């Protein structure tokens, strides 16, 4: 499956896709990694693996619409069947999201619908929840509100800090994100008007 991965930073989730592809365990072909930040370490991960790494800086763009139009064109040059957001820290316009509807996925570090938006680990601790986790979901125009493909739960421990909790969640991200991508690559998961279907069953 031809894919493009969008990042803004470290790219540890990207690394799981690179490793899965290289090991022949994930039936994907990463055509390009695109970042909005030139200093994203994930670009180095891509280049080291021989994958095309591109930066489209958002500075200088007068509007989100114009940035997203250029981003769409850049991505479409690679003709991906799946666009993977992996720590891409920008809100996307409805035009961008509709253009890639059904082939655009994200990972969010919470058990959606809980804690949409930023600083999820801090907010989970402040709320005193006993369980936290991460969700892979299809992207729809409303932020972090698209239908969920798969989630993983972790316990919140009494001595957790945002950092220790984030690490526990990331370990699960690195497990469920490649899993969801595999399901998509194998044609086992799709977004329909009324939600996500896996193996023909509504989730
Ligand atoms: C992850 O925690 C992801 O859930 C969030 O951004 C972080 C990206 O981490 N959306 P990395 O760049 O993949 O290491």
Ligand 1 atom with least separation from CA of 11: 12
pLDDT at 185 > cutoff 90: yes
Whether 178 is in the pocket of ligand 1, judged by its Cβ within 6 Å, is: no
The predicted complex's ipTM stands at: 0.96
125-180 pLDDT, tens digit per residue, is 999 999 999 999 999 999 999 999 999 999 999 999 999 999 999 999 999 999 99
DSSP state of 90: S
| CA–centroid distance, residue 11 to ligand 1 (Å) | 7
8-61 pLDDT, tens digit per residue, is 999 999 999 999 999 999 999 999 999 999 999 999 999 999 999 999 999 989
Whether 15 is in the pocket of ligand 1, judged by its Cβ within 6 Å, is: no
Does 158 carry a binding-site annotation?
no
Ligand 1 atom with least separation from CA of 134: 4
User: In this structure, which residue's CA is closest to atom 1 in ligand 1?
Assistant: 87
Exposed (0-12), middle (13-18) or buried (19+): which is 85, by Cβ within 10 Å?
A: buried
Does 103 carry a binding-site annotation?
no
Mean pLDDT along residues 114-134: 98
Task: Please tell me the predicted confidence (pLDDT) of residue 179.
Answer: 98
Given 58, 78, 108, 121, the catalytic residue = 108
Find, among 34, 75, 38, 37, the residue nearest to 51 by Cα: 34
pLDDT-based confidence at residue 108 (cuts at 50, 70, 90): very high
Q: What is d(CA 111, CA 14) in angstroms, rounded to the nearest whole number?
A: 21
Task: Please tell me the predicted confidence (pLDDT) of residue 198.
Answer: 94
pLDDT at 107 > cutoff 90: yes
| CA–centroid distance, residue 3 to ligand 1 (Å) | 18
Q: Which domain holds residue 60?
A: 2-202
| 108 a catalytic residue | yes
Ligand 1 atom with least separation from CA of 170: 2
Asked if 136 and 127 touch (Cβ cutoff 8 Å), the reply is no
Tally the domains of the chain: 1
Whether 107 is in the pocket of ligand 1, judged by its Cβ within 6 Å, is: yes
Task: Please tell me the predicted confidence (pLDDT) of residue 45.
Answer: 98
61-105 pLDDT, tens digit per residue, is 999 999 999 999 999 999 999 999 999 999 999 999 999 999 999
Which whole-number Å values give the CA distances from 58 to 62, 65, 192, 200, in the listed order?
A: 9, 11, 32, 39
DSSP string, 157-186: PTT--HHHHHHHHHHHHHHHHHHHHHHHHT
Q: Residue 88 maps to which CATH number?
A: 3.40.50.170
Does 105 carry a binding-site annotation?
no
DSSP state of 113: T
């Amino acid at each position: 499956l031809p894919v493009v991965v969008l990042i803004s930073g470290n790219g540890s989730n990207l690394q799981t896709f690179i490793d899965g592809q290289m090991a022949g365990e994930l039936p994907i072909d990463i055509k390009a990694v695109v970042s909005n930040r030139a200093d994203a370490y994930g670009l180095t991960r891509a280049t080291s693996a021989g994958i095309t790494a591109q930066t489209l800086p958002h500075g200088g763009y007068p509007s989100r619409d114009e940035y997203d139009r250029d981003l769409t064109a850049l991505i479409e040059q690679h003709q991906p069947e799946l666009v993977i957001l992996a720590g891409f820290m920008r809100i996307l316009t409805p035009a961008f999201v509709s253009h890639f509807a059904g082939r655009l996925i994200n990972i969010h570090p919470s058990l959606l619908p809980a804690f949409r938006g930023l600083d999820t680990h801090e907010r989970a601790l402040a709320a005193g929840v006993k369980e936290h986790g991460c969700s892979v979901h299809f992207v729809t125009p409303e932020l972090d509100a698209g239908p969920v493909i798969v989630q993983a739960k972790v316990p919140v421990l009494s001595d957790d800090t945002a950092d220790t909790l984030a690490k526990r969640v990331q370990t699960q991200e690195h497990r469920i994100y490649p899993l969801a991508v595999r399901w998509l690559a194998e044609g086992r998961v799709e977004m329909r008007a009324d939600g996500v279907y896996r193996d023909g069953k509504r989730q």
